[in-house]
Structure 1
């Protein structure tokens, strides 16, 4: 097989192919502009808005020892600049994982175009989900959620966030915003774009809603729960691409998917429907960040329930499609096996002289004896 030579022609600058081939380098240069801006006094104030977390509040840790201070953060319009910068970082990390890990595996496995795109999607998302699960769990442990789950509604409104909590939400928003330009960079098919847009939009809607409504603890718990189930699905798909006989991961994922939807609904109703509904302060106050009023609670529960119902509907359709494909493939396998057995039996019959064919003992056949006598 002849080795295909790489083209020595470089695409024109700022052309379609040039941007696709060098988008990681272009984005890196844009990100470096903000980092270099930190080095000069004139541009420091503008660059800091993009690189570091904004709206920092420092309060004393205890009344006795005022020298010890704690830093907390609240959200504001400047967070959009921070999200934009870390969106650039997400694009760079995406390109690094793609070039140095996924592309090397693809060259060895020789996947088809369909499997190639699905493998890249699962590879990127499984890495993100795993990292987010570990990070989110560590925040929940540090926030004492494990020892006191009632913090979901007792701490509301959680206007003051720790550095890890705010950075987690900024990173989540940045990652899902980076998925929009990746549709162009990864040459996503036109028929797949609507599905991807719905997928990305649901993440941004719920993460942004939890962030703006100060439901940070509830959003974090539900994200960790959801990400764990999604990680299991995508890691199972990666194993399936390497060995199509692998099905155990999908069976476990199917069970955990249903349990995850039930736990999501239970935690949401328990927090919003019961915990916040019994709170003393139920007045809308933008200055204190209190959105604990009946219309907001109904909207939150409705959005969560509709999303979970939509996911279950997609899940049921997916399982039914797999069952139909499996059931339709079974008769074909049986037909192939029967055809093989018939072929083997016909060969044996031919060898044994069935249906008037010449046998191995042809000298004793009636026709040969008649020919000899004549």
Structure 2
């Protein structure tokens, strides 16, 4: 798969500019090595660890019919290899969206450098959030997690998970890990890197925590809820860049953002604070994957509540900044409007002068000029 940006300059091989311009081609070649490894018997056993999901367990579908079986999965150290491969895939998809969609729009809109980087960020994230929301919602419906909320904590630990659930978590981890090299590939400004690292780290911390602590069901519900709100924000920002008068999306996002934080806290407390706290098995057992002990429940709830408080604090600061900017710009616009209307004479004033007095232009009438000429 060749994804190459057209450039009149040919930078030196393996230089900084060469890697940035051709990083998608380089990553595609690395990913192709793993795919070609599946074709040969010598390398197939090693390559399959990177490409396919590991740790599958086949169990009977029902107790009555032992002939029908289903495959479920658990996690292990080999998942790191799978995450690495799909991180390469995420980099390639990122480059495709950037070159064939976002760059073409940027050329037509002629954005400034600041808007250019923000537009690219919102374009990439809105596509990812939309895809993850649709995929996660499909899993929630197919596994009946929506119709039965008690399934979030019932039969914990949820060690064995279906294929779609595991592939979803592997893809999520791969995407957010790919965000680290993208800071280099996209030439992110130094002042923006700390902010990027904070939210990338928060995503990885919570997704990996839900995956390793066997809280995949709760994590899936919270991710879908959070991704939907974030998708609305970034799609609203895309419309705002095309038309700065567009504000309806931000108003809707503000209401859903607060509602999403409250619903996240309610589901977390209901699952961890009440559901798991009343479970019979509350002994720490790494072999069976049971982490339902008081200390870990406190850490999980503290982490979720602390993150929601941090997001609300950032949200309030964002809204206050917007309100100040709107308040400071409104008097200036009113002042300009007042000066414009004050300085523009009416039709009657233009004919008879200002405030009923006759101006020099009014006195210089055609009659006087005619008399002067006569």
Question: What's 1:3 paired with?
Answer: none
**Distance of 1:272 and 1:194 partners within structure 2:** 31
CA contact (8 A) 1:350 1:357 kept: no
Shift of 1:348: 7.8
Residue by residue over 1:310-350, the C-alpha shift from the partner in whole angstroms, topping out at 9 and shown as x without a partner, is 00000000000000000100000011111211221399867
CA contact (8 A) 2:83 2:173 kept: yes
Residue by residue over 1:10-42, the C-alpha shift from the partner in whole angstroms, topping out at 9 and shown as x without a partner, is 100111111111111110000000000000011
What secondary structure is seen at the aligned counterpart in 1 of 2:57?
A: strand
**Distance of 1:312 and 1:346 partners within structure 2:** 52
Which is further off, 75-84 or 7-16?
Answer: 7-16
**Distance of 1:128 and 1:351 partners within structure 2:** 64
* 1:68-83 alignment runs, 5 A limit: 68-83=68-83
Residue by residue over 1:99-131, the C-alpha shift from the partner in whole angstroms, topping out at 9 and shown as x without a partner, is 111111111111111111111111111110011
**Distance of 2:235 and 2:252 partners within structure 1:** 12
Residue by residue over 1:225-282, the C-alpha shift from the partner in whole angstroms, topping out at 9 and shown as x without a partner, is 0000001111111111111111111111000000000000000000000000000000
Which is further off, 338-347 or 27-36?
Answer: 338-347
**Residues 362/8 of structure 1: CA separation in 2 closer, same or farther (3 Å cut):** closer
**Distance of 2:290 and 2:42 partners within structure 1:** 38
**Distance of 2:7 and 2:298 partners within structure 1:** 59
**Distance of 1:306 and 1:101 partners within structure 2:** 37
Q: Is it true that 1:257 corresponds to 2:260 in the alignment? A: no
**Distance of 1:186 and 1:51 partners within structure 2:** 26
Shift of 1:146: 1.9
Question: What's 1:32 paired with?
Answer: 32
Query: CA RMSD, aligned part only?
Result: 2.0
Question: What's 2:305 paired with?
Answer: 305
How does the TM-score come out when normalised to structure 1? 0.93
* 1:11-26 alignment runs, 5 A limit: 11-26=11-26
Residue by residue over 1:77-96, the C-alpha shift from the partner in whole angstroms, topping out at 9 and shown as x without a partner, is 11000000000000000000
Question: What's 1:124 paired with?
Answer: 124
Shift of 1:171: 0.2
* 1:35-184 alignment runs, 5 A limit: 35-184=35-184
CA contact (8 A) 1:352 1:359 kept: no
Residue by residue over 1:282-321, the C-alpha shift from the partner in whole angstroms, topping out at 9 and shown as x without a partner, is 0000000000000000000000000000000000000000
**Distance of 2:68 and 2:147 partners within structure 1:** 26
Question: What's 1:359 paired with?
Answer: 361
Which is further off, 352-361 or 16-25?
Answer: 352-361
Residue by residue over 1:123-150, the C-alpha shift from the partner in whole angstroms, topping out at 9 and shown as x without a partner, is 1111100110110011111111122110
* 1:211-222 alignment runs, 5 A limit: 211-222=211-222
**Distance of 2:9 and 2:222 partners within structure 1:** 50
**Distance of 1:198 and 1:363 partners within structure 2:** 74
CA contact (8 A) 1:350 1:359 kept: no
**Distance of 1:141 and 1:7 partners within structure 2:** 47
Structure 1 residue runs of 5 or longer lacking an equivalent are 1-5
**Residues 315/359 of structure 1: CA separation in 2 closer, same or farther (3 Å cut):** same
Which is further off, 35-44 or 357-366?
Answer: 357-366
Shift of 1:356: 8.4
Question: What's 2:3 paired with?
Answer: none
Shift of 1:65: 3.1
**Distance of 1:161 and 1:10 partners within structure 2:** 49
Shift of 1:8: 3.6
**Distance of 2:9 and 2:235 partners within structure 1:** 38
How many residues of Structure 1 are paired with residues of Structure 2 in the alignment? 364
**Distance of 1:50 and 1:109 partners within structure 2:** 40
How does the TM-score come out when normalised to structure 2? 0.93
**Distance of 2:64 and 2:279 partners within structure 1:** 31
Q: Is it true that 1:191 corresponds to 2:191 in the alignment? A: yes
CA contact (8 A) 2:129 2:230 kept: yes
Question: What's 1:323 paired with?
Answer: 323
Shift of 1:365: 12
Shift of 1:56: 1.1
Shift of 1:59: 1.5
